[in-house]
Structure 1
């Protein structure tokens, strides 16, 4: 066999053996998944989840309820389930607890975060181990005390992952205790202050009832020369829980430069009477005021000096018989005989 042909055959054989035996080369063969994209796919896989369990044992879907809603009278016991999903290839251990429900304050923010103990909530298991690629449904009960106040008692179920990675999931719970309800909101502590060329309206919203409120706010301001601000009622991005106080501000970008204004806020909510609060606002161009004060001060001082010079009486001088100049008052003394001259 010619040398060139033998060398080509030998090289082809060696290349084939290398491809078959080398793992890295085998991974590069057509049809084999590259290692880097596979690792990226594993990293992008969804983490563990917590959500209300679908009814009837159905699989979760995008049409599932986004939060729990339970309603019962004092003394009622209500049951439901929370669904914990683990799509990863490692087991996950999750600790469960209730927040705010049964704390007696109705506290917490719109996401259900708060410091309440969730005393009304009891889980079938407080700690759950979820195997890889598995979904677990954990039953829980909500027991309403017999002396519970009617109205809304919002809260959350909190799932906390223990061990490496950590993480927390919160599922909101809307709990209503049946009975007489009261919707009431007030606006308090209204004040208006200057901030650069704009004005800032500060106020406090207070939920005085026992239902969750979605407040609406209207703003108006009237000056000496008529209306200077009109803002129609609009929904505020606030979920006002029972007993909660929220401090808010409104920016007024173009207040009048010279006026005495009365600012009024009207707050309303579904089922609640409108509450109003007001505060005065005096707009004074301080630069012009100071300049005017300086001009008035300078003018007043000059006028006083001029008036003093006009009202001062100069000494009248005259001459005596010998030609000497004497003051008028001396002449008056001489004429009365009460004085003598040498």
Structure 2
């Protein structure tokens, strides 16, 4: 039985009122949840002083045997108290191009041993901050060039089951340029090439170049990859857009992968070309580093298509030839002769 119009109108108004009331009650709760700080969070930053102001990280140019002091500020931006360990460790570049720091399971042997914080631990309440002073002591026999480390704050806490110990680390880089002969150098290693043709025989395939870029010098390095590819005798040259490579710490290396679209000309050759550049103090471009390569690039999909067409043509030709070569049916010939004689007798 349908409701009276007045009753329907009253019910609709009541529903709207309840919805508005729920929205007004839930909105502040949702806003508070969105604005609430995370339970565990903190920041680290440099402190302005005699060593510099407005610095993104710590960087020094010193002589062997030098000693200096500086300060890092740590702020608890989370909602719970924090107990942080403070220590230094060597820095390195990962194969993927990220800057990472040694863990406590990998003892430092370089600049990570030069940096010592005045405190080994911090306890901070929510919103509280503390300045951590530290000392950098450069050995008298330190090798010239860039030495990289990080000053780390570490929070160890269990997961919800308290069966997994999680180490959350946050730190800032410390780079020490020791005076002496600066010798930036880079090497292209382990070059491999593969060619993947397109499924469409009329579209170019993909040449994949993979290599390792190793910093074999004593300064921080970056660079630009401008690798090229071409068909036989240098024809039909192709190249991807130049790629700015990650910063590489001395002694580290990164893995680089480039993809260049090029048609399968049977043989594709080219050059892995890296234009390195020393960064930091006294930054300067260096001579380009190149490596020649060559790879078979066969248009397999096109060959398969031609093969299928060729096989079909041969099959059709063989079938037709067999039909033409088949002997005539004797019974059919005999019936034909009888019919011909009968027509001859009628004519006479």
TM superposition score normalised by structure 2:
0.63
In 1, the alpha carbon distance for the partners of 2:196 and 2:240 equals 23
C-alpha distance in structure 1 between counterparts of 2:238 and 2:299, whole Å: 23
Q: Alpha carbons of 1:188 and 1:37: their partners in 2 closer, same or farther (altered >3 Å)?
A: closer
Match of 1:171 in 2: 172
SS at match of 1:100: strand
User: Would the alpha carbon gap of residues 233 and 272 (structure 1) be closer, same or farther in structure 2, given more than 3 Å must change?
Assistant: farther
* Structure 2 residue aligned with 1:245: 253
Aligned to 2:221, the other structure's residue is in SS state coil
Does residue 82 of structure 2 align to residue 68 of structure 1?
no
Q: 1:238 to 1:97 in 2, by over 3 A?
A: same
Q: Tell me which moved more, 220-229 or 134-143.
A: 220-229
Q: 1:163 offset after TM fit, Å? A: 5.2
| Residue 248 of structure 2 corresponds to residue 260 of structure 1 | no
Whole-angstrom CA distance in 2 between matches of 1:163 and 1:288 = 59
> Which residue number in structure 1 is paired with residue 330 of structure 2?
none
Q: Deviations over 1:252-306 (max 9, x none)?
A: 23x222332221121122242211101112222335657669979xx9xxxxxxx
Q: How far, CA to CA, are the matches of 2:30 and 2:195 in structure 1?
A: 58
2:111 equivalent to 1:111:
no
Q: 2:128 aligns with which of 130, 134, 140?
A: 134
SS at match of 1:242: coil
How far did residue 160 of structure 1 move? 0.8
- Among candidates 138, 143, 163, match of residue 137 of structure 2: 143
| Residue 180 (structure 1) aligned with residue 181 (structure 2) | yes
Contact kept in structure 2, 1:112 and 1:172, CA below 8 Å: no
Distance 1:47 1:183 in 2: 38
- Report the number of matched residues: 258
Q: Helix, strand or coil: the match of 2:273?
A: strand
Structure 1 residues 229-263: Cα deviation after superposition (integer angstroms, max 9, x where no partner): 3438734241111122222111123x222332221
Contact kept, 8 Å, 2:39 with 2:80, in 1: the verdict is: no
When structure 1 is superposed on structure 2, of 106-115 and 136-145 the one drifting more is: 106-115
Matched-pair contact (CA < 8 Å) for 2:240–2:260 = no
Aligned 1:88-103 pairs, distance under 5 A: 88=78, 90-100=80-90
Structure 2 residue 114 is the aligned partner of structure 1 residue 120 = yes
Q: Shift in Å at residue 79 of structure 1?
A: 0.9
User: What TM-score results when the alignment is normalised by the length of structure 1?
Assistant: 0.64
Q: Output one character per residue of 1:175-221: Cα deviation in whole Å (capped at 9) or x when no partner.
A: 21111111111222323212352221112211111111111111222
Report the Cα distance in structure 2 between the residues aligned to 1:190 and 1:147, rounded to whole angstroms. 36
Distance 2:75 2:43 in 1: 5
Task: Quickly say closer, same or farther: Cα 1:110–1:144, change in 2 above 3 A.
Answer: farther
Match of residue 71 from structure 2? 81
**Matched residue, 1:153:** 147
Indicate yes or no: 2:305 matched with 1:279.
no
By how many angstroms is 1:48 displaced? 2.1
